[in-house]
A and B are shown apart, each in its own frame.
Chain A
């Protein structure tokens, strides 16, 4: 019983810490690219608005990057403290992927972040822009390795089991480019760009609700609309491709996502309902018959496995996977709607002229984060009871530690996270509330105190 409690607490701790952690990389991946675009546009056009946008959002980036690193370190420690059996079994395969992430991505980001923040005047515009681009590339390389490792856990390939039960890689190409990896990487990268676009758009809309002529916020909102008007529909296509990968490699997860209780041809498409794992049915379900199979990309007479194809103790928490998926898809559709609405506003009088659109953008600002967390709940809870799909069960991967030890560290994490991340989030929200500042120009003759020698000086000679 104690071991079961430790397992539940270890899972709770990992879920708690990773839900915090994923917020930051999903923001910094997109924000680093946004900064590179702003700086590139400033270098080519010399328009002050891009320079001011860069200087404003780079502060948010620096704080988010720092909090992402701190919360990420906690994740890797947990692999040793709470999941030592998983580490022992899978380290020869997973370990190098994490090491490559540190060597190729984290060091790249850490090296050039210093120039990005403290070196613009020292290295000049060209080398500074190079640094910003390298940091942006670093965030994407980091996503590459982490998604590769996670995808391998979803659909392991290129490995063998040694006599002592540990795993070893037999084909590194198959490990890194495992079957679910390419589509999941595209899905996550697009999610990060969408999350950032919604956050930048929402923060800009918030400023424009107070001052609709603020030039930096007007430009940022237009750039954000351009991003989510294009990326949100694209994400729908990539998300669907990701679903087809799940159908082929993780049919149990698909059965939980769609609440397929019964193995049959011509599955209905469940829209909403309350899945009941004990009764093996969905209460109050609204479903459309005849379209389940075509949506999954198979003919109506193809048999799709339902949850009844697996022992009941292997079923994941169906209601959580089912609803997390619907929250993610629902928010994705709302993002497509917001993008189309924003594009229409840009074509008419401009988005800043439509207060309802601005308020909707503010409301949608955190929804990218919600969608990302919902998506990861689908991926991780839907994978249960496996930590490495079909290879290692979660209950067999936990460290031989007591519930008291895990609950003590969980409590410590909750207190520390509440203090550190609340302070960080509060600071970011205060920055966003203030909005970007226009470039301070040298004071003109009218601005100077009358009767002073400075006031008499012509504008071009004034300091």
Chain B
């Protein structure tokens, strides 16, 4: 089974363009934020608050 946690790019891996890297950075950061917020709101709804 492949590792879920991603390692660094190998020396011969193609380097993504900077807009692509920046887009992934923003996407993953906002994804993490959204996931946390979704769990928080779900818990609040479950508690009927």
Binding site for B on A (CB under 8 A): 42, 51, 55, 58-59, 62, 73, 106-107, 110-115, 117-125, 127-128, 131
Contacts and interface: CB of A to CB of B under 8 A. Distances in A.
B9 A120 contact: yes
B9 A113 contact: no
Contacts of A115: 24-25, 28-29, 32
- Among B9, B25, B35, B43, which residue has the most Cβ atoms of chain A within 10 A? B25
A51 B28 contact: no
A119 B16 CA distance: 12
A335 B42 CA distance: 44
Contacts of B35: 110, 114
27 contacts: A42-B8, A51-B7, A51-B8, A58-B5, A62-B5, A73-B43, A106-B36, A110-B32, A110-B36, A111-B33, A111-B36, A112-B32, A114-B32, A114-B35, A115-B24, A115-B25, A117-B5, A119-B24, A120-B6, A121-B9, A122-B6, A122-B16, A122-B21, A122-B24, A127-B21, A127-B22, A127-B25
Contacts of A106: 36
Interface in B1-29: 4-9, 13, 15-16, 20-22, 24-25, 28-29
A123 B21 contact: yes
A124 B32 contact: no
Given A123-B24, A124-B21, A111 B8 contact: no
Contacts of B4: 117-118
A111 B29 contact: yes
Contacts of A117: 4-6
A119 B13 contact: no
A107 B33 contact: yes
A124 B31 contact: no
Nearest to A127: B25
Nearest to A46: B11
B36 A121 contact: no
- Among B6, B24, B30, B33, which residue has the most Cβ atoms of chain A within 10 A? B6
A65 to B, nearest CB: 12
Contacts of B13: 121
Given A120-B8, A123-B25, 6 more contacts: A58-B5, A110-B33, A113-B32, A115-B28, A123-B28, A127-B22
Nearest to A42: B8
A124 B28 CA distance: 13
The DSSP consensus for interface residues of chain B is helix
Nearest to B29: A111
A264 B13 CA distance: 74
Given A106-B36, A122-B16, A123-B21, A114 B28 contact: yes
A128 B8 contact: yes
Contacts of B5: 55, 58-59, 62, 117-118
A124 B29 contact: no
Nearest to A126: B21
B18 to A, nearest CB: 8
B29 A112 contact: yes
Contacts of B30: 111
Nearest to B18: A124
A142 to B, nearest CB: 13
Nearest to B24: A122
A62 B5 CA distance: 9
Nearest to B12: A442
Nearest to A39: B8
Given A111-B29, A114-B29, A115-B28, A55 B7 contact: yes
A138 to B, nearest CB: 11
A137 B8 CA distance: 22
A127 B6 CA distance: 14
A119 B20 CA distance: 12
Contacts of A42: 8
A281 B31 CA distance: 60
Given A59-B5, A111-B33, A125-B8, A118 B15 contact: no
Contact of A114 (B7, B16, B31, B43): B31
B36 A124 contact: no
Contact of B28 (A55, A59, A122): A122
Contacts of A110: 32-33, 35-36
A362 B8 CA distance: 30
A51 B7 CA distance: 9
Nearest to A58: B5
A121 B28 contact: no
Contacts of B33: 107, 110-111
